[in-house]
Structure 1
């Protein structure tokens, strides 16, 4: 059955990439969630999508220019009512939240625009610390980073993110050495899913928010839909 992964948590109903959004996603029946990670100035792994702070917090400037202590002081509610004082979590905070659950965490490394030296190693260290190896999928648009991750670990599953259609993406994924394709909704096709499954690959599709699209992904046998609306997806999929 197609799984429901909440995109940055239940981001339609709570501030994205925050503990309230992840808690709500689990309450809404998500099988897991997708989140984004970056490095602070002092090499801590924090959960935030943008390389800069303005959109989602009351801070300013680059995430990479701030220490974890600096970032902990910011309000990450993005102005949403009822969530004032919400903080930027660390990856460890999120792993602590899901201890005792079976939730799968898709960790996207945000290293396509910002070259975070050591991000891969730091993420793997947090995964090992919380014994999350078999419940994590690491993904990135930076496929060189995925190659590097492949050289560092044989235990954590890897997913290749892409937006525009690829020529025979299942073959490309095998050459890349990843375990899953993570296409955008516009690039997800029945043929891609069929060939990927023949190669032993999963296909996890983002970002799927409409009921009709969710059902279409179920019909083509996608392994997971990444959605801002996990409650809706749970209702559609059952």
Structure 2
């Protein structure tokens, strides 16, 4: 059984990360899921962007949370790629609308570890319910207090513990915070962790798996999914 392919920030190896272009490309390339990042605008709109500031991924500057949606939607997020000129910061609702008619899963990472956005969990859960995506959603965060809140607030939605280094008996920790899956950095994954997680009913989806060798190692370990910038390449490997 091959691992499911999640497109990291969309098909971000070929299109600007966290844009509708990257998400549409991921769908076209046959990804089984999409991973994206969300934050809150100054007027509490759930926007799709990774960094807490605008400087790296857009032609704007300053904190995401200091701008209203009207201000954010005017920015260019094409990374200077002429073919994608005009691609902007999407709303989470736009991505949910794109994916609702499909069978794809959606991993929403709440970027609330550095900026503790008030009301973010409630806003995300409300949107997921609005689009009837409860059964195809994974809510993740490096802020594990947020994961525990989400698990209590929306027990029908899957939550995932994000982490980047060695976590002792992570399948037990997942249960402690109410999560049903683990999203570790791929270097923190071992076959033993995957085996014990599976026995505990906990899924494992490592990030960000971009090389062929790392994909093969994760597949051999038996992970449930890999999160990658290159979904099309790994789908082609699976078909071959």
Q: In which range does the TM-score fall when normalised by the shorter chain? A: over 0.9
Aligned residues: 238
Determine if the alignment matches structure 1 residue 75 to structure 2 residue 76. Answer: yes
- How far off is 1:233 after superposition? 1.2
Indicate conservation of the 8 Å contact 2:29/2:231, yes or no.
Answer: yes
> For residue 9 of structure 1, what is the aligned residue in structure 2?
10
Q: Structure 2 stretches of 5 or more lacking a match?
A: none
- How far off is 1:6 after superposition? 0.4
Determine if the alignment matches structure 1 residue 102 to structure 2 residue 103. Answer: yes
> For residue 163 of structure 1, what is the aligned residue in structure 2?
164
> For residue 227 of structure 2, what is the aligned residue in structure 1?
226
- How far off is 1:173 after superposition? 0.9
Q: Compute the TM-score of the two structures, normalised by the length of structure 1.
A: 0.98
Q: Deviations over 1:125-174 (max 9, x none)?
A: 11011111011100000000001111211111000000011111111111
- How far off is 1:237 after superposition? 2.4
> Partners in 1 of 2:191 and 2:236 — Cα distance?
22
Q: Compute the TM-score of the two structures, normalised by the length of structure 2.
A: 0.98
Alignment of 1:15-164 (within 5 A): 15-164=16-165
> Partners in 2 of 1:23 and 1:218 — Cα distance?
25
> Partners in 1 of 2:77 and 2:130 — Cα distance?
26
Indicate conservation of the 8 Å contact 1:214/1:236, yes or no.
Answer: no
Specify the SS of the correspondent of 2:161: strand
